[in-house]
Amino acid sequence: MEHPAPGFEQKIVAPDQLAARVATLPRPLVFTNGCFDILHRGHVTYLAQARALGAAMVVALNTDASVKRLGKGDERPVNALADRLAVMAALECVTLVTWFDEDTPLQRILDCQPDVLVKGGDWPVAKIVGNAEVSARGGRVVSIPFIHQKSTTALLEKIRRL
């Protein structure tokens, strides 16, 4: 017996369909991006804080190849893109989730035209990709300070030690 796909998978949008889906979303629209390889408390806290800055939120994930180019280690990502997309889509605070294979999410930012561009506290606003483009349109660019000092890299190191 075949099971229907869970409803949250409808939140996963291919890049070529993104602009059309975003056009139907309420504003202000928040955009953020990252690897989100092994989701932890730091991630979900950050995502909830980002979502609170608008009426809807799009999250763009690095493809597996894009993660590898970031130099996080040969074994990264631990979770394949399809799995990371599904986990992200299941989060209540995420409206849509997509992906990018380029080294930066700039094209997805241009596709979305967000009102609020958000990254974590390790990113100063001046270095956030898309800052100039979003600011030029009158949007806000926000770096959210970390509340929970967690990292997937540290988590993987702990697992290896055990």
The DSSP-derived string for 82-105 is HHHHHHHHTSTT-SEEEEE-SSSS
Q: Give the per-residue pLDDT at 159.
A: 75
Confidence of residue 2 (pLDDT cuts 50, 70, 90): low
Confidence of residue 162 (pLDDT cuts 50, 70, 90): confident
Q: Give the per-residue pLDDT at 150.
A: 65
Say how many Å lie between the first and final Cα of the chain, rounded.
40
C-alpha 42/C-alpha 34 separation (Å) is 13
C-alpha 59/C-alpha 80 separation (Å) is 16
- Average pLDDT score over residue span 53-78: 93
One-letter amino acid of 104: T
SS3 call for 142? strand
Q: Domain spans of the chain?
A: 7-161
C-alpha 83/C-alpha 56 separation (Å) is 22
Instruction: Kindly state the tokens that stand for 159.
Output: 């697992």
Instruction: Name residue, tokens 């809807």.
Output: 56
Q: What pTM did the predictor assign?
A: 0.91
SS3 call for 60? strand
C-alpha 47/C-alpha 36 separation (Å) is 10
Which comes out higher in pLDDT, residue 92 or 151? 92
Pairing relationship of beta strands 29-34 and 56-62 according to DSSP bridges: parallel
Mean pLDDT rounded to a whole number for the chain: 92
Fold exhibited by the domain 7-161: Rossmann fold (3.40.50)
pLDDT tens-digit profile of 97-134?
A: 999 999 999 999 999 999 999 999 888 999 999 999 99
